[in-house]
Structure 1
């Protein structure tokens, strides 16, 4: 069996689990690395589950293609540390999480020294995308991409796969994507604030249904807003918006490179304000984020911890350029 028809998955949560289900449905054999807790719903769908790394690697034919779906941070370094000694030249490891792109550049260089291809695979589309067709933005060397590409094309929607270029570019493109997402969420939330504070008795779900059909601003976020308004009691939604901190990195990068991004920067500031008791705009953003990514309503300590720990590499572009000039790159 070739890598075109099988894949290993480490991290069987919302994204990894749903990608596994989609893959099996599409005829791709999936070997999943589970922890102590079993995943009977995945077994029922045909996902082969193992608990030990040795068994996981031995079940996959060379060149192995492995998709890692774990929270950004030190845990992403821990996975290659465990896998590296067990893999062979030409195997491919893809980080499908929201890792900081400079961390991905470093990881690619480290694994390249072991003959292993490391791809930074920005993944969008939420749980539904993972289940029925995701959007992949993939950075990495051409040889590794060509090995993984048939699987990525099979698991993406039409037009939803792109090789963005060198290592780090996939996660950088996904980071910019998330910044744009923040700006769009903020604009929609402010529109809800205006509608709710008006002198009119406006049915929000009807307005968003209207906007989803032929308007200039129609799109998935507007559709999600309508859907969530019909499923949730708007006034009961906590106006606290949680996040894992990736767009903060983008704002920091923009400051370092003196690239003006006022809308995205302000959307981050507004998100901070939501934690101080703001009103309807943040309920609206919380609704849409829950719709596309199952993000929680209200504060969540595990996500707050990820926000604090997920960025490992913390050097700026200018620092890296200085190190290159000085010959001190690692």
Structure 2
């Protein structure tokens, strides 16, 4: 099976290496020269342009996109869908909005190809340990992708979660849940630090050693605390990728209460606030208090 891998960043280059190690042919492209060099070092055949990459990868093939969500992914996806033919499979492995998948799937089918949206989790560690893959595709496309999914995933780490669109939906909800888990760990760490007699790093280690709150996320937190016990070098500003917002929007649309996820998302907003919202709230409370 031939793979054209578009996007060779931190995750893409690791994916290229796993595919090559599994004996699959990989033709890769990235606009960044350093990214191309990393993928070449992992054994991929790297090209200077998207067009050269597609031309070098004979069909039927899998064209796997690992690009930032938004304008770039939509533009490249449109170009790829115009270039594929019978038997090809286009995979969007980025964090795209799940609503985009239906149109992409329709265009692919119109050219005799297929489309799958795959939520990819595992970050830079996936190159060594394998990725968790949430696949949105029809049954036939999922079966055809199995050699690629087996090569990329952790043991048993890929599942078909529904038709086109469902892979990115499940990944968005996954990230929303992750927001809530991380917020809870952050609050727990803050409480540990509020007790100077407690060794916070040791406490986290005890939590990880068989307790009910152990997790891979906690493992990463412990590594960070061991390197910087007070996390003094960590900026108290937390970005959001947009997937937590999509999760909250979907919850509102369906009327499903998700207070933990919403609160965790708002905590990220608050971390980036310049304090104006807090000042307005205090002023409002003062006015209300004066009216009583």
TM over 0.5: yes
Select which of 15, 18, 22 maps to 1:22.
Answer: 18
Select which of 31, 41, 44 maps to 1:44.
Answer: 41
Point out where structure 1 has 5 or more consecutive residues left out of the alignment.
Answer: 279-330
Name 2:278's counterpart in structure 1.
Answer: none
Are the structure 2 counterparts of residues 53 and 274 from structure 1 closer, same or farther at C-alpha, using a change threshold of 3 Å?
Answer: closer
Name 2:283's counterpart in structure 1.
Answer: none
Q: CA deviation at 1:41?
A: 2.8
Q: CA deviation at 1:11?
A: 0.5
1:214-247, Cα deviation, whole Å (9 max, x unpaired): 1111111111111111223512211000121111
Name 1:203's counterpart in structure 2.
Answer: 199
Q: CA deviation at 1:153?
A: 1.4
Counterparts of 1:49-88 in structure 2, within 5 Å, are 49-88=46-85
Find the aligned partners of 2:249 and 2:81 in 1 and give their Cα distance.
32
TM-score (norm 2): 0.88
Answer whether contact 1:54 1:86 (CA < 8 A) is retained: no
Higher relative contact order (CA 8 A, sep 6+): 1
Find the aligned partners of 1:223 and 1:155 in 2 and give their Cα distance.
22
- How many residues in Structure 1 have an aligned counterpart in Structure 2? 273
Taking only aligned residues, the RMSD between alpha carbons, in angstroms, comes to 1.8
Are the structure 2 counterparts of residues 74 and 111 from structure 1 closer, same or farther at C-alpha, using a change threshold of 3 Å?
Answer: farther
Answer whether contact 1:21 1:131 (CA < 8 A) is retained: no
1:72-99, Cα deviation, whole Å (9 max, x unpaired): 1122221132223322112111111111
Are the structure 2 counterparts of residues 26 and 132 from structure 1 closer, same or farther at C-alpha, using a change threshold of 3 Å?
Answer: farther
Select which of 171, 187, 192 maps to 1:190.
Answer: 187
Q: Flag the structure with larger Rg.
A: 2
Find the aligned partners of 1:85 and 1:219 in 2 and give their Cα distance.
43
Name 2:9's counterpart in structure 1.
Answer: 13
Which moved further from structure 2: 125-134 or 14-23? 125-134
Answer whether contact 1:77 1:107 (CA < 8 A) is retained: no
TM-score (norm 1): 0.78
Q: Which runs of 4+ in 1 moved over 3 A?
A: none
Which moved further from structure 2: 56-65 or 250-259? 56-65
Q: CA deviation at 1:186?
A: 0.7
Answer whether contact 2:68 2:94 (CA < 8 A) is retained: yes
